[in-house]
């Protein structure tokens, strides 16, 4: 029976890892990704081309934390290798909506015939492109990309109208490689 946790995560080729004061930073082809793993129950060490997670005890809490840390590190590795991509679809049936990006700000004009445009400041570390009726969000950090997609979707949220009839808005269609039906 195991008395402690010993997990290993393999780093891919071309990824440099560094840890300072429980802040893990990874550098890869797409850029850099940093995350704070400050928890006294789990220790993180870099050994050559591997990241090792260890704990002195084996309780449910340590198992859950180790699994969470492992998932975050895998997302960081995927982010610096390939990047995380979210796709959104622009749907406008009642009024022709105009979506553009100006100086790190997403601008939605003529949403339901509104005179003033709706604007959203795009977070740093996220690149956003508008291609026809599709918005593509890319980032090395999965949490930043997902939050940016959610913020854009909330920008065109409709209240006090029947959602079956008024389907105008911007909706997430693909979450980091997973299609949404």
Residues in contact with 121: Cβ distance below 8 Å, sequence separation at least 6, in sequence order? 104, 105
What is the reported pTM?
0.86
pLDDT score, position 105: 93
- The secondary structure of residue 113, as a DSSP letter, is G
Is residue 1 over pLDDT 70? no
- Measured in whole angstroms, how far is the alpha carbon of residue 40 from the centre of its chain? 26
Give pLDDT, residue 106.
93
Residue 178 has pLDDT above 80, yes or no: no
- Name all domains of the chain by residue range, CATH numbers in brackets: 5-81 (3.90.930.12), 84-179 (3.90.930.12)
User: What is the arithmetic mean of pLDDT over 96-107?
Assistant: 91
Window from 114-118, 129-133, 158-162 with minimum mean pLDDT: 158-162
> Under a CB-based contact definition with an 8 Å cutoff, are residues 95 and 161 in contact?
no
Which long-range contacts link 142-148 to residues 24+ away (Cβ below 8 Å)? Answer: 142/75, 142/78, 142/79, 142/84, 142/176, 145/84, 145/85, 145/86, 145/176, 146/84, 146/86, 146/175, 146/176, 147/123, 148/86, 148/122, 148/123
Q: What is the pLDDT of residue 2?
A: 62
Of 155, 154, 148, 86, the residue nearest 122 (C-alpha): 148
């Amino acid at each position: 029976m195991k008395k402690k946790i010993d997990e290993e995560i393999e780093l891919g080729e071309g990824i440099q890892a560094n840890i300072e004061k429980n802040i893990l930073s990874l550098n890869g082809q797409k850029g850099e990704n940093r995350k704070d793993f400050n928890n006294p129950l789990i220790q993180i060490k870099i050994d050559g081309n591997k990241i090792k997670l260890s704990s002195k005890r084996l309780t449910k809490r340590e198992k859950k934390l180790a699994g969470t840390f492992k998932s975050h590190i895998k997302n960081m590795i995927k982010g610096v290798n390939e990047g995380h991509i979210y796709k959104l679809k622009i749907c406008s049936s009642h009024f022709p909506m105009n979506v553009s990006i100006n100086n790190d700000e997403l601008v939605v004009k003529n949403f339901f015939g509104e005179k003033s445009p709706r604007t959203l400041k795009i977070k740093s570390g996220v690149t956003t492109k508008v291609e026809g009726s599709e918005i593509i969000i890319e980032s090395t950090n999965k949490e930043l990309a997902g939050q940016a997609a959610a913020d854009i979707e909330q920008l065109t949220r409709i209240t006090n109208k029947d959602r079956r009839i008024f389907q105008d808005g911007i909706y997430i269609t693909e979450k980091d490689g997973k299609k949404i039906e």
